[in-house]
């Protein structure tokens, strides 16, 4: 009987370890996509092809290196059909991003800056980043509003 109790305890401990090892969902995508909603962990996003871009921001000094997933590639993977992407941040900031932006520019869902994972206390874990450098049009303030840090959800409409 003692061995059965030990076996049960080990199974419970292992099951608990599996639950603790699961990564949290950091991005939810809803709307006009296949199999909505789609949920992504950091591991899911890192498993997708990565793009790195060098650009300045209006909230940091100098040019930084951002790595993440091209937003247009994410939309293609999800078979998204809408023309507007509503981005929502953890602080409930909401902005609409025209799909034309992500088709014309290499807009990324960034998860690292200068090689370091974005931290929730400083714009992370996800940040929509536009490639300002080399695109004079992206210096316009209306694009600055579309840089959503602490991104948590996208809705394709």
Q: Tell me, what CATH number does 76's domain have? A: 3.90.420.10
With respect to residue 58, please indicate whether it lies within any of the assigned structural domains: yes
The count of domains in the chain is 1
Output helix, strand, coil percentages for the chain, rounded to the nearest 5. 30, 35, 35
Q: What is the mean pLDDT of residues 1-9?
A: 43
Q: pLDDT tens across 21-48, in order?
A: 689 999 999 999 999 999 999 999 999 9
CA 25 – CA 43 distance, rounded (Å): 10
Q: Which of 73, 31, 36, 18 is nearest to 51 (CA)?
A: 73
CA 36 – CA 14 distance, rounded (Å): 32
Q: Which of 25, 82, 69, 56 is nearest to 138 (CA)?
A: 56
Q: In this predicted structure, what is the pLDDT of residue 13?
A: 46
With respect to residue 44, please indicate whether it lies within any of the assigned structural domains: yes
With respect to residue 73, please indicate whether it lies within any of the assigned structural domains: yes
Q: In this predicted structure, what is the pLDDT of residue 56?
A: 94
CA 151 – CA 157 distance, rounded (Å): 17
What's the domain range around 151? 24-156
Q: pLDDT tens across 76-124, in order?
A: 999 999 999 999 999 999 999 999 999 999 999 999 999 999 999 889 9
Give how far the C-alpha of residue 157 lies from the chain's centroid of Cα atoms, to the nearest Å.
18
With respect to residue 13, please indicate whether it lies within any of the assigned structural domains: no
Longest dimension (CA), the chain: 75
Least confident of 13-17, 35-39, 138-142: 13-17
With respect to residue 15, please indicate whether it lies within any of the assigned structural domains: no
């Amino acid at each position: 009987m003692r061995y059965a109790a030990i076996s049960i305890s080990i199974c419970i401990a292992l099951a608990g370890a599996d639950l603790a090892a699961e990564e949290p969902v950091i991005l939810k995508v809803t709307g006009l996509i296949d199999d909505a909603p789609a949920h992504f962990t950091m591991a899911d996003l890192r498993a997708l092809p990565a793009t790195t871009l060098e650009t300045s921001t209006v909230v940091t000094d100098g040019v930084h290196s951002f790595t993440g997933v091209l937003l247009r590639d994410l939309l293609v993977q999800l078979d998204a059909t809408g023309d507007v992407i509503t981005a929502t941040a953890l602080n409930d900031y909401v902005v609409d991003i025209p799909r034309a932006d992500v088709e014309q520019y290499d807009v990324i869902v960034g998860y690292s800056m200068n090689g370091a994972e974005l931290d929730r206390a400083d714009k992370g874990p996800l940040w929509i980043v536009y490639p300002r450098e080399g695109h004079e049009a992206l210096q316009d303030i209306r694009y600055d509003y579309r840089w959503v840090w602490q991104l948590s959800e996208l809705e394709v409409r």
